Amino acid sequence: MALQPGMLVEINARERILPLPGEDVEMEPLDFSAVKAQLVEFDREKDKWIVATFGGVSVAIEEPLLRPLQADEVRSYDFVFGPKSDPEIMGEELAKRLSERGYAVLKVFVADKDAANVVETAKMLEEEGKFSRFAGEFEPGYLGRGGVGKTLHVDPDARESPASIVESKIKTMDETFTSIMQMVQPYTMENLGFDIYSRTNLMLRLPMLDGDDDRYPPADIDDVEAEQYYHLMMRKKLTVLQFVGPSEGQVKLVPRKDLGEEVVLKAEPHTVLLFTGRFDYMHSPDDASLSLSTFFLEQPAVWSLDTRITGNVDALGMMGAGPPAPNGEQVAVFSIYCREGGGSEGKEQYWNAITAATDGLLEVPVIRWDHIEYYDPNSEAGGSYTRHGCFGIEGVDLFDCKFFEISPAEARGMDPVQRQVLEVSYMALAGAGWDKKHLQRESQNIGHFVGIDKDDWMYIGGQVSDVSGGFGASAAANSITSNRFSYSLNLKGASMTIDTACSSSLVCLHVSKLHLRNQDFDPMPACIVNGCNLMLSVGPFIGCCGANMLSHEGRCFTFNDTADGYARGELCSAIAIRRKPYTEGGMACVAGTQANQDGRSASMTAPNGPAQERCIQAVLRETGLSPAEIDCLECHGTGTALGDPIEVGSVRKVMAGAQRTEPAIVTSSKSNIGHGEGGAGLAGFIKCCEQVMHTEGCSNVHLRTLNPHLDIEGFPCHMLSEKILMREDSAYNGVSSFGFGGTNGHGEAWGKNIETSRGCGQQDAYSAFNKKLRLAPPAEITMNGDDVEDWETTGMPAVIEQGVKYQVLLDEDGIATWEEVHEEEPNYGDEFYVIGTHNEWEPDALDRHPSINGLWTGSITLSATGEECVQIQADADRMKTYHPTMRATLKSTEIKGPEEVSQDFCWVIRGSPGETLEVEWFQQGKTMSINWMRA
């Protein structure tokens, strides 16, 4: 017999042979005498077959040393699942075998060393106290009849999984279960009558040993777990067990309902057992053998609500749908003022600009510098290859020094950044209720935090103004930028300038929140947070172009396939935050913030995805939110080739772990206003506040074709190219900001729609009922024995046949009770009559057709008008009238009945005056039709 790849063989090597190099393979000769294996491929250079042994070792063997296996030599397995097994053929045959006899045994290729690693990991997890017992009522479902054991559910891909699991071979065995599911999935409907929708997390099981009863008492049951268990067991279609060892055991398959014979199988290490719902099982492991299991599940029940909702609909509480405000002590935003790209002055203009998808970038204005002197599009002379930026603030040289009680002599040498911070921070301060007049009389312990990362004035100030003399030291010092505002307005709270590069202003927000929360000794009633960036010199353009950081096209092509770097932008933004409830006049809530550092990365300036993930996860933990509750994500999104894919990848890993009902909205303001560098983070947070205050998501400008390097597999999201409305009247919106030195920041805003009329309207009763139903507490479960099919629930059935109707009753406590509606077959009638204007609505009997069951015939004569209105009546009873859904001349109009109805709902039959027409009526169950024709 000619050898072929995939064939099962026996190796009969007389001498020890060195295995092929591989992960965790010890490179020493091994005994391959009488070893079963599968052919992988023929190596023509070595003139040998590459084979994989059942023990998971690859080796090159000469053909004379290989003997094809006969069927009876592997009859203890139904299938051998190796590296060259054809998944399509095996999947179809596996489904057929499960259909024929209800179970199948697979031999999987597992190295003894890998199995030992999994057993060792399980024992280590047990020593760490990770294992536990199910409630006694749940053990039969998870562990089989009479099953008792210690268990642990693991998900090797979950972020919270300990390193001992992630770094072990448990992940490899978990992937085997997934491969088996994907292999059999396409063939289950045809052979078994169901589709596989998903699988459960991997469960590790160890037997109870002497002394374990006291250490592992059965768990208690609560209503939530009981309902989850009931739904899981009802959805379970295939049970899959893998026996890891180290020793053998026994499995007995017991036919359910006592139909058929029991099947006794060896629980041999490195085998997988699949069986359908025909069987329960009893597993008797030897010693402390480990087994793994999972369930393949069908789709959960899917239902849709009828629009007819009756009862006290006012009790549904139909105002203000959406997630509630953050729990606990709140820090709210009470004022916003900003100067952004596109000439936006104030939050209203900024909102109008970003909702209109404004591109705020333009060529460098001559009033700043003559950029032609430095423009070097081909990077030949060490100049700037870009000539665009978002010069969003006009008149940076203008300043009302008298208002802030600064002398003209000092003002002339002041850094324009200080001027902008003074003006914009004051607008935010005044918007929160403090003005200069009152503050000069009575100081307030208000903090001021400024995020900036550039100091252009230090390099050009001397060229345009005299910065020497008594004011020179404070003219451009970054520390003075924040301190000058506190001094001018008589504010005595913490005042500091923070520079963490591009994350500066978002880190300021985090630090200011911490100061507000610290009320122990010198509490502050409010903080002003400011982020500013001005472009006063060509120097940063030349420097960034030298590092190839800027876009050649002069735009931030965030998420687009043309992303080639960022475009610089200038802005100045400020918000006033207070430690007060949102309900006392707040615009939005600072739901949570966090800052962290990359530590060691590929380089000091390279983005670090895991660090970004940790930063976002920390905010989710602070707010108590799951990823599915975040409606919108404002990304750092500078449009760089490296940064965008890393950021989106980290967001995906955080967000993809939860089941979403709506895709997440993904935006970035840098496509509108460029990268504001040190001030960018706060500008992004302000956009988050605006979006939740309107419950709308703004578009990303220049997004035409998605960047192919963005990994959004398994992450349902909308990277917007146009504005959309959010799903409800309140929302959470997060923003990330990353400094090029590795300092990351993330902030989460919550707000209600307080800006549009949509936020004032009531929900319809349908939406309110649907929401209440989703939030209903767990149902009452009546446990009738070990068989879950005998259990009863007052809640939603785990499996619903298509078309079956339920009546759902919601009480004042939100408890939902589901009752199946058994619709009685209506009394269609025994005899049929035609009534209408031709006989003054008196019944005329129709004749039963002699050969066609359900067909009745009669005739009418048209009056002088040539038009008659008719209905069909059963048993001469007006309560059993059949009629069209409207006054109709078409025979195909939908028919309703039998019921009492007005004469207005009738068929209009037209013809010649005095003409006789034959009327035919057909009725068989719910099938009805009417016809008329010339006699």
Residues of the chain with CATH 2.60.40.3620: 832-934
- Residue showing tokens 């009629």: 883
Of 898, 841, 901, 900, the closest CA to residue 869 belongs to 841
Report the C-alpha gap between 894 and 888 in whole angstroms: 10
Min mean pLDDT across 76-90, 521-535, 754-768, 872-886 is at 754-768
Joined together, the tokens standing for residue 780 give 């009452």
Which residues does 689 contact at the CB level (< 8 Å), separation at least 6?
333, 336, 575, 587, 588, 733, 749, 751
pLDDT for position 157: 87
Name the pTM for this structure.
0.54
Residue 472 above 70 pLDDT?
A: no
Of 568, 550, 557, the closest CA to residue 361 belongs to 568
Give the fold, CATH level 3, of 84-297: Jelly Rolls (2.60.120)
Among candidate residues 338, 390, 502, 545, the one labeled active-site is: 502
Report the C-alpha gap between 172 and 839 in whole angstroms: 82
Joined together, the tokens standing for residue 137 give 């009522």
Determine the average pLDDT of the residues in 198-207. 94
pLDDT band at 11 (very low <50, low <70, confident <90, very high): confident
Residue 677 above 70 pLDDT?
A: yes
Q: What is the pLDDT of residues 49-86, one digit of tens each?
A: 998 888 888 889 898 888 988 888 888 888 988 888 88
Residues of the chain with CATH 3.40.47.10: 332-757
- Angle formed by the axes of helices 416-431 and 478-489, nearest 10°: 40
Determine the average pLDDT of the residues in 889-900. 91
Residue 461 above 70 pLDDT?
A: no
Min mean pLDDT across 625-629, 706-710, 756-760 is at 756-760
Residues of the chain with CATH 2.60.120.620: 84-297
Element (H, E) at 19: none
Give the fold, CATH level 3, of 332-757: Peroxisomal Thiolase; Chain A, domain 1 (3.40.47)
CB 864 within 8 A of CB 913: yes
pLDDT for position 113: 87
Residue 98 above 50 pLDDT?
A: yes
Is there a catalytic annotation at residue 822? no
- Choose between 582 and 771: higher pLDDT: 582
CB 682 within 8 A of CB 508: yes
Min mean pLDDT across 350-354, 408-412, 871-875 is at 408-412
Report the C-alpha gap between 203 and 294 in whole angstroms: 6
Among candidate residues 675, 702, 838, 883, the one labeled active-site is: 675
Q: How far is CA 210 from the centre of its chain?
A: 45
pLDDT for position 319: 46
Peptide bond into 898 cis (omega under 30): yes
Joined together, the tokens standing for residue 905 give 């709902």
pLDDT for position 462: 56
Residues of the chain with CATH 2.30.30: 8-75
pLDDT for position 535: 93
3-state DSSP: the chain helix, strand, coil percent, rounded to 5? Answer: 30, 30, 45
Is there a catalytic annotation at residue 544? no
| 506-510-514 Cα angle (round to 5) | 165
CB 629 within 8 A of CB 727: no
- Whether the CA torsion 27, 29, 33, 39 is positive or negative: it is positive
CB 108 within 8 A of CB 270: yes
Residue 463 above 70 pLDDT?
A: no
Which residues does 810 contact at the CB level (< 8 Å), separation at least 6?
316, 769, 772, 773, 776, 816
Q: How many CA atoms lie within 13 A of 445 on its CB side?
A: 8
Collapsing DSSP states into helix, strand and coil, what is residue 767? helix
A 10 A CB-CB count for 435 gives 11
Residue 670 above 90 pLDDT?
A: yes
pLDDT for position 331: 94
Joined together, the tokens standing for residue 58 give 């690859």
Residue 859 above 90 pLDDT?
A: yes
pLDDT band at 153 (very low <50, low <70, confident <90, very high): very high
Pairing of the two strands 33-43 and 8-12: antiparallel
Q: What is the pLDDT of residues 768-817, one digit of tens each?
A: 777 778 778 888 888 888 788 888 888 887 777 776 788 888 887 778 88
Report the C-alpha gap between 662 and 839 in whole angstroms: 59
Among candidate residues 448, 636, 702, 883, the one labeled active-site is: 636
Of 64, 103, 104, the closest CA to residue 80 belongs to 104
**Mean pLDDT value across the chain:** 88
The DSSP-derived string for 59-110 is EEE-GGGEEEPPGGGGTT-SEEE-TT--HHHHHHHHHHHHHHHSEEEEEE--
Torsion angle, alpha carbons of 467, 468, 471, 475, to 10:
30
- Angle formed by the axes of helices 456-464 and 539-546, nearest 10°: 140
Q: What is the pLDDT of residues 403-412, one digit of tens each?
A: 999 998 888 8
A 10 A CB-CB count for 105 gives 18
Give first-to-last CA distance, the chain, whole Å. Answer: 80
- Residue showing tokens 């089941």: 659
Q: What CATH number belongs to 8-75?
A: 2.30.30
Residue 884 above 80 pLDDT?
A: yes
CB 347 within 8 A of CB 669: no
Peptide bond into 246 cis (omega under 30): yes
Joined together, the tokens standing for residue 511 give 């630090």
pLDDT for position 247: 85
Q: What are phi and psi of 696, to 5 degrees?
A: -135, 150
CATH 2.60.40.3620 fits 832-934, yes or no: yes
Report the share of the chain in percent with pLDDT over 90. Answer: 53
- Bridge partners (DSSP) of residue 212 are none
pLDDT band at 251 (very low <50, low <70, confident <90, very high): very high
pLDDT for position 810: 82
Is there a catalytic annotation at residue 438? no
A 10 A CB-CB count for 465 gives 15
| 805-809-812 Cα angle (round to 5) | 160
pLDDT for position 762: 47
CB 585 within 8 A of CB 694: no
CB 189 within 8 A of CB 142: no
Q: Go through 55-94 and write b for each residue having 16 or more CB atoms within 10 A of its CB, e for each that does not.
A: bbbbbbbeeebbeebeeeeeeebbbbbbbbbeeeebbbbb
Which residues does 760 contact at the CB level (< 8 Å), separation at least 6?
none
Report the C-alpha gap between 460 and 396 in whole angstroms: 14
pLDDT for position 702: 92
Of 669, 417, 715, the closest CA to residue 537 belongs to 417
Joined together, the tokens standing for residue 763 give 């929900």
pLDDT for position 199: 94
Report the C-alpha gap between 760 and 751 in whole angstroms: 14
Min mean pLDDT across 452-461, 485-494, 564-573 is at 452-461
pLDDT band at 921 (very low <50, low <70, confident <90, very high): very high
Residue 844 is classified by DSSP as E
CB 332 within 8 A of CB 578: yes
